[in-house]
Amino acid sequence: MKKLLLTIALLLPSLVWAFDFQVSLPGGNTLYFDTVDGGAKLVYPNTSGVPSNGWVGYSQPTGSMVIPSTVQHDGRDYTVVEIGRYALYDCQGITSLTVPEGVTTIGNSAFYYCSGMTELRLPSTLLSIGSQAIGYCDALTDIWIDALTPPATSNSFYGALTANITLHVPYVSYQTYSTTAPWSNFGSVETDAEEFTITALPNNPLRGTVLGGGSYAPGTLVALQANAAEGCFFACWSDGDTVNPRALTVTEDRVLKGMFFEKVHDTMNVTVGVHDTVTNTVHDTTVAILHVHDTVRVPVVVHDTVSPEMFGLQVLSADRNAGIGVGSAMLPAGTTVEICALPLEGYRFASWTDGNTDNPRTVTVMEHDVYMATFSNLGIQMPSTLDWHASVDGKYLKISSRVGECLRVFDAQGRRILSLTTTSLDTSLMLPSAGVYLVQLGDGPAKKIVID
């Protein structure tokens, strides 16, 4: 009997000293902590190594669980600053989990195989998540994270079904999370903030119009387009940006004015003083000095912008059901520009009507020119296939594609509305107004989209 008691006594320290103290939570769950510099660390109770024995001798936390932000030990309060490795390993009974503010680090395999957890909330203070920390959490559908900067990760979501998870992020960080792996690999990235208003208007409605503007969810990509009236020109937006059309990511309420000005031709009256001196020097005596002061009217043309002769460049399609021409514009004489023919799905570019087969094609504008593109049907034997998908959801255009593709949107007249590189598998954007648009990915055929 004494030998048995001695054996038990020898075993007890390995259990007692695996953690510094324990905390009982309302609802019956118990958590285990170590004291560390700066606060407390949530730890796995049985071992500091691989928890091959599971929770033997301890009750696993279950249900909807909130890790406390502060814990008490020996009459002292400790801020929880770290989640240790394996801290909640294999706790399959946890249905939701909230990590408190103040935690900066989540260790390796901390929540590994919490297969019943559907919701996870992470704090704004979080800086890093360890390897497989959220691995094989197959039931997860939603992760909320308040950190403005995506925490550093290292294979943190190993085995997790990220395509089934919606990531909820701060609205000011939407674009960052949407373009930073592995966060950008989630099924969708959303923000729960209210919509913001983009107010787009001209500085003078008699000089031009602006398309775009409205109320949008944070992170939405919208397009603004400034169109000058006859005899006027667009100079820039009120924030100094000169790009037109302009793609804008919504992050806050904004007012943007299109700055339009008239092409001015003024005549100035210039006074020219002519001073002629007539001298008679007979006998070295000055007889007379005549000062003539004449005022003459000199026509001077002043331009607030230098405007050489302008010519119209028209880039048309022989069959608008097969494709469009891109590049129509009013341009100064001598301008060299690139035009192109954009085939629609099921067609390919054949040639220009002057016999040229370059696409895109560089032309120099010296007069009013018309370039007509012709297209041919690919036929049954050579079907056109798109490896991307475009759809309309209310006022939004949604694109599903590979990451890193060049996405272009044109209106029905062949004017480019916007151009960008896709940074996630799903791109959502708002177009300026209802109408027919053509969407092209890479240099492939375009897809026709109708926004009601």
pLDDT digits (tens, 9 = 90+) for 34-84: 999 889 999 998 765 556 666 888 889 999 999 999 999 999 999 999 999
Distance of CA 292 to the CA centre of its chain: 71
Residue pair 143/161 in contact by the 8 Å Cβ criterion? no
Which whole number is the average pLDDT over 323-348?
83
Most confident listed range (225-239, 255-269, 383-397, 427-441): 225-239
Q: In this structure, which long-range contacts are made by residues 57-62, counting pairs with CB atoms below 8 Å and at least 24 apart in sequence?
A: 57/15, 58/30, 58/32, 59/29, 59/30, 60/90, 60/91, 60/92, 60/93, 61/29, 61/30, 61/31, 61/88, 61/91, 61/93, 61/94, 62/29, 62/91, 62/93, 62/94, 62/95
The pLDDT mean for the chain works out to: 79
d(CA 369, CA 382): 34
What pLDDT was estimated at residue 295? 33
| Residue 332 clears pLDDT 90, i.e. is over it | no
What pLDDT was estimated at residue 432? 66
Element (H or E) spanning 420, and its range? strand 416-421
Residue pair 392/451 in contact by the 8 Å Cβ criterion? yes
Most confident listed range (10-19, 62-71, 266-275, 417-426): 62-71
Which whole number is the average pLDDT over 232-241?
84
Three-state DSSP class for residue 180: coil
**Neighbour-count burial of 29, counting CB atoms closer than 10 A to its CB (0-12 exposed, 13-18 middle, 19+ buried):** buried
d(CA 82, CA 42): 6
d(CA 399, CA 390): 5
pLDDT-derived band at 440, boundaries 50, 70, 90: confident
Residue pair 58/86 in contact by the 8 Å Cβ criterion? no
| Residue 264 clears pLDDT 90, i.e. is over it | no
Which is higher by pLDDT, 146 or 171? 146
What pLDDT was estimated at residue 398? 83
Which whole number is the average pLDDT over 406-417?
76
What pLDDT was estimated at residue 308? 57
What pLDDT was estimated at residue 49? 53
Three-state DSSP class for residue 212: coil
What pLDDT was estimated at residue 211? 87
| Residue 235 clears pLDDT 90, i.e. is over it | no
Three-state DSSP class for residue 313: strand
pLDDT digits (tens, 9 = 90+) for 211-230: 888 887 777 778 888 899 98
What pLDDT was estimated at residue 47? 64
| Residue 384 clears pLDDT 60, i.e. is over it | no
What pLDDT was estimated at residue 106? 97
Q: Any residues with CB less than 8 A from the CB of 183 and at least 6 apart, and which?
A: 150, 167, 169, 177, 189
What pLDDT was estimated at residue 276? 39
pLDDT-derived band at 10, boundaries 50, 70, 90: very low
Which whole number is the average pLDDT over 243-265?
81
Residue pair 40/74 in contact by the 8 Å Cβ criterion? no
- Phi-psi category of residue 431: left, alpha or beta, with phi > 0 → left and psi -120 to 50 → alpha: beta
What pLDDT was estimated at residue 386? 61
| Residue 383 clears pLDDT 50, i.e. is over it | no
What pLDDT was estimated at residue 141? 95
pLDDT digits (tens, 9 = 90+) for 94-110: 999 999 999 999 999 99
d(CA 346, CA 383): 6
d(CA 151, CA 181): 11
Residue pair 376/350 in contact by the 8 Å Cβ criterion? yes
Most confident listed range (178-182, 380-384, 417-421): 178-182
